[in-house]
Structure 1
Amino acid sequence: MGTYVLTYDVGTSGVKTCLYHLTDLITLVASALFSYELSILDNGGAEQDPADWWNAMQHTTKQVLQDSLIPADQIGGISFCAQMQGMILVDREGQPIRKAMSYMDTRAAKEHREGIMHGMKIAGVNVFKLARSLAITRAVPASVKDPVWKYTWVKRNEPELFRKVYKWLDVKEYLLYKCTGEFVMTEDSAYATLLYDSRKGRKTFSKQMCKMFGVEINHFPRVIKSTEQVGTLSTQAAAELGLSVGTPVFGGGGDAALIGVGAGAVAEGDTHIYLGTSGWVSTVVNRQLIDTTNMIASIVGAIPDRYHYFCELETAGKCLEWVKNHLALDEIGIYLEKKQISETQETMYRSLYDYMMHAIKDVPAGSNGVIFTPWLHGNRCPFEDSNARGLFFNISIDTGKTELIHAVLEGICYHLRWQLESQDRKIKTSKTIRFVGGGALAPLTCQILADILGREIETVESPQNAGAIGAALVTAVGLGMIPSIHEAKSLVTVQATYKPNPRNKATYDIYFEVFKSLYSRNKKAFGILNNLSSRPDVFHASL
């Protein structure tokens, strides 16, 4: 008969709730999406209201139950896949003391500079703190976006609120508390604080690391595995969600941990690429590696004794959202109003993105000379610079919207190639790469990625739901339905394969070298415009 499980995919723009029927297959029964806002502040802050996440869960849970006609008492388990490296500080009652600080938050520049960059440095980081961090966690909080600097920022700038802090939670952990009343953190979320000693025989938050960075270790909750049952749905949570009291709730994981599981990329050496709001390249490895030059670390995931050698691109699909809103708006407006669009075309374009992909499908490789850099909110890897921004380079009098939109797709893929080649310096990435996320829905994007990388690209069924599928597999392990997460290899099958076009690859090889040069040639200008411009005296002195 199988079991029904409910998974919540909590992103930066909304919650997608999926109801799966687990047998010897993973079958999507119903899904629903509810959106919310991410507030970008003038000081570099990026915040969300945790109440919005819970409100979205309530709406989508009721919607999938209504659409599926599955009774609530038939739901065998609940789990999560969520955005990571958020900062939700709560009091003893589990109430947030302030809005959640997103992984995109960059306001803690002063705390970051004083906390890790002062003194004798290697790769821009204090030598002593670098050595201590690498010895204990095999990573270092070298990015202004790392959670410890958000914590330090609140401690310095909001002392009255900070005195109320009882626990430091990530996004998923806050929602686990709302469901069960239990304060926990899964291993991947704990590691993402960069204060967790993940070495064999340790598996605990490091007192040394917390002392070095001024963090109160008692602010952390207990750590559990992704497949572990946190507790059961409380009476209040069940009433608000429309589910049954006592429904088992499992730890789940962050998106970086579970999307690879949902892609079926779980064996050592498997590489997957994700293109959602953010993007990344991730390869499964058997030991913790770090490349401080290229800002790559091996993060803890949901698979025991395996790690993800991980490169993140802060704004990937977000660039496509930007180009849709600001460049394609005229054409999309025509589509929305159903003007000059035949009935055949109306059924052809299932979404605005489909229409946009159709409009640019005939643009040649290289976008007629235009290159775009996808750093709309700074960058982490292979270089760390919160001041980096997007560029359209080499626009001519003949350049049109279609070339610009096409260049955005290529720019994202160029950067993913840069990350893949950075990984190849220390490990062997897979010859065939699984591609998931909303970006993998468009055949044009898949082919461009194959051409730019020069690798075979595989997609799976419902690639936009890879995180939710990963959460369903974690729940299946927790319920004892499958022996381990490694079963994902056989349960998640290939839907389509894309092979690189040699002619396009030759063009992209030339453009790629130019793409990489654009950051080094504009680094100083980025710093002046996006940092010093807030200080007129320093701005004019720099000029």
Structure 2
Amino acid sequence: MYIIIYDFGTSCVKTCLFHIDSGIELLASSSASYGLYITADGGAEQDTEEWWAALCSTTRDLFLKSDILPKDIDGMAFCTQIQGTVLVDANGNALRRPMTYLDQKGIKEYEECMGRGIIKVFGCSLYKLIKNLRVNYAASTSAKDPVWKYKWVEKHEPEVFAKTDKWLDINEYLAGRCTGRIIRTADTAFATFLYDTRKGREGWNKGLVKMYKVKPEHLPEIIENTDLVGGLTRKAADDLGLVAGIPVFGGGGDTTFVSIGAGSAQPGRTHIYVGTSGWVSTFMDHQAFDLRSTITGVLSAKRGYFNYYAELETAGKCFDWALKHLALDEVGIYLQKTKVTDDLESRYTSLYEYLCEEIAQVPPGANGVIFTPWMHGNRCPFGDSNAAGMFFNIRIENGKKDMLRAVLEGICYHLRWMLEREDAKVTTSDPVRFVGGGSLSPVTCQMLADITGRTIETVDHAQEVGAIGTALAVAAGIKGTDVLQLSEQLVKVKQTYLPNAENKEVYERNYRVFQTLYRSNAAAFQKMNG
């Protein structure tokens, strides 16, 4: 069968055409970017028309790159960034620019609700925390959570709020624009923390809806990720260059599908993802949470299964920042001194690959330089929107290569920290699957193995694992089969990396220092960014 998946990230969509039979074959892919609009009040917004234009251009491009015809497509779905907020009218039209998971405009709304109470835990009302935890083993403990975006619009944009018919996440907005049907998938409904995960009670919880003062009429019907939403409308088909009536399936959030695409969809298996953001996730057949470390069990694509999920909001984004501001030198003084020549371009597929080879020349430990990857605040193992990135222990003998290596090591130190916090509540696996764009570099893979002390496995199409997992969910929906079994059967290990004991001592020293840097600077972060 032929399946189109739209993998919606923070900065671009990657549209993939898969053939799924006895294996998974990526036939063609196309990418297009869109803006991320950061505002002075903590906003992080995007534009729905930019999304749609990216969808249309990339879909048409697929058929220029393959021999498959639009009439051959058996199904489609979206795999998107999660915890966004899209408010739509009765016709499914967005009423304002969507707010992404990075948006933290609602910090006052969060503090006014969760910060009130006689007894508090981690700055939150104990009563409200307990009420949430009883229902879904989770709670809204960050100003970036969707309900505070919703409440911010209610308070600051009453004219928009008055026109709102439904409150959606990104996946459901796009599925609705394709089919005309407005729904929520269970995983994105859970991400609002208004969803009841208790067996037999799954769905919107009336008590939590009332506690957070959300209008029940704004909450759509909930379906499963493998359910059929509807057929592609004529209007959407004409825009996209497809055939009307193509089945559009539930799809959902990237965190839901990456474990499936990574082949880590059996209880107890752990994967690490590094893309724009990063996370550590262990697949579970029951729900668990760690309030102190802000780790919770988010829904899987199959009811009754969960991803015990710890998030780092800026992982690959940190290296992207370093690439632009250190490697490329935006000031321009050194641009003529070091250029990526035609010869280099013929030997390397990307600047990331070239830089990783350069970084490999720097000894483990980055000659004493340590970097903290908290460039847009942090969630786990501490929640602090004021936390920021920094380089620590730079001396006169250090250079840019040390700093670039320190960025990658800092990301890996933080991933180890989250892995250890998961181990405090559940048993994580060894080996660990490593996926996302970060796993494309053997240098980074070996670094992660050395720093975590775990065997690291990679898979084919590591950047497309979210799309692969979503394609498997569509295939399961079409065939009526078990998506977890499909993942087990079809996703195979590509390469394995074993920890190098020679690097343990220096990494252990730097890691212990890394862990102290937040506690030592939390008050300063508050003064600078609070």
TM-score (norm 1): 0.95
**Aligned partners of 2:281 and 2:307 also within 8 Å:** yes
The equivalences for 1:130-209 within 5 A come to 130-209=129-208
Q: Gaps spanning 5+ residues in structure 2: where?
A: none
C-alpha distance in 2, partners of 1:246/1:361? Answer: 51
Aligned to 1:451: 450
Aligned to 1:541: none
Q: Structure 1 pair 186/258, CA: closer, same or farther in 2 (3 Å)? A: same
Question: 1:530 matched to which residue of 2?
Answer: 529
For 1:97 and 1:344, locate their aligned partners in 2 and report how far apart those are by CA, in whole Å: 50
Contact 1:334 1:340 in 2 (8 A): no
Counterpart of 2:25 (choices 12, 27, 33) is: 27
Residues of 2 paired with 1:333 and 1:352: CA distance? 17
Question: Which residue is 1:283 aligned to?
Answer: 282
Aligned 8 A contact 1:477 1:485 in 2: no
- Counterpart Cα distance in 1 of 2:499 and 2:285: 29
CA distance in 1, matches of 2:505, 2:28: 43
Equivalent residue, structure 1, for 2:90:
92
Matched, 1:37 2:31: no
The residue identity in structure 1 corresponding to 2:105 is R
Matches within 5 A, 1:343-358: 344-358=343-357
Select 1:104's aligned residue among 99, 102, 107: 102
1:503 paired with 2:510, answer: no
**Is the contact made by 2:138 and 2:193 (CA closer than 8 Å) also made in structure 1?**
yes
8 Å CA contact retained: 1:332, 1:352: no
Are 1:263 and 1:466, in contact at CA under 8 Å, matched by a contact in 2?
yes
Contact 2:329 2:335 in 1 (8 A): no
Q: Tell me the amino acid that sits aligned with residue 175 of structure 2.
A: L
Task: Give matches, 1:382-531, under 5 Å.
Answer: 382-480=381-479, 482-531=481-530
For structure 1, list consecutive stretches of 5 or more residues without a partner in the other structure. Answer: 532-543
> Which segment drifts farther, 287-296 or 230-239?
287-296
Residue 60 of structure 1 corresponds to: 58
C-alpha distance in 2 between matches for 1:19 and 1:353: 25
- Distance in 2, matches of 1:118 and 1:520, equals 25
Q: What is the deviation of 1:489? A: 1.4
Q: What is the CA-CA distance between 1:117 and the residue it aligns to?
A: 1.5
How big is each residue's C-alpha offset from its partner over 1:100-126, in whole Å with a ceiling of 9 and x where there is no partner? 001001111111101112122012210
Paired with 1:379 and 1:348, the residues of 2 have a C-alpha distance of 37
Amino acid at match of 2:244: V
User: Using a 3 Å threshold, how does the CA distance of structure 1 residues 342 and 173 change in structure 2: closer, same or farther?
Assistant: closer
Match of 1:17 in 2: 15
**Counterparts of residues 316-395 of structure 1 (less than 5 Å):** 316-330=315-329, 344-395=343-394
- 1:191 and 1:26 mapped to 2: Cα distance? 29
| Deviation of 1:217 (Å) | 1.5
Q: Partner of 2:115 in structure 1?
A: 117
Question: Aligned residue for 1:82?
Answer: 80
Alpha-carbon separation, structure 2, partners of 1:391 and 1:273: 23
What is aligned with 2:246? 247
- 8 Å CA contact 2:457–2:496 kept in 1: the answer is yes
3-state secondary structure, aligned to 2:76: strand
Residues 18/426 of structure 1: CA separation in 2 closer, same or farther (3 Å cut): same
Separation in structure 1 between the aligned mates of residue 262 and residue 334 of structure 2, nearest angstrom: 33
C-alpha distance in structure 2 between counterparts of 1:111 and 1:380, whole Å: 18
1:404–1:95: structure 2 CA closer, same or farther, 3 Å change rule?
A: same
What is the aligned partner in structure 1 of residue 214 from structure 2? Answer: 215
| CA distance in structure 1 between the aligned counterparts of 2:473 and 2:26, rounded to whole angstroms | 16
Match of 1:294 in 2: 293
Q: Shift in Å at residue 242 of structure 1?
A: 0.4
TM superposition shift of 1:69: 2.6
Identity of aligned residues (%): 50
Q: Aligned residues, how many?
A: 529
Could you say if the C-alpha distance between residues 430 and 527 of structure 1 is closer, same or farther in structure 2, counting changes exceeding 3 Å?
same
One-letter identity of the residue aligned with 1:33: S
**CA distance, structure 2, for counterparts of residue 343 and residue 106 of structure 1:** 43
TM-score, structure 2 length as denominator?
Answer: 0.97
**Alpha-carbon distance change, 405 to 341 in structure 1, aligned in 2, over 3 angstroms:** closer
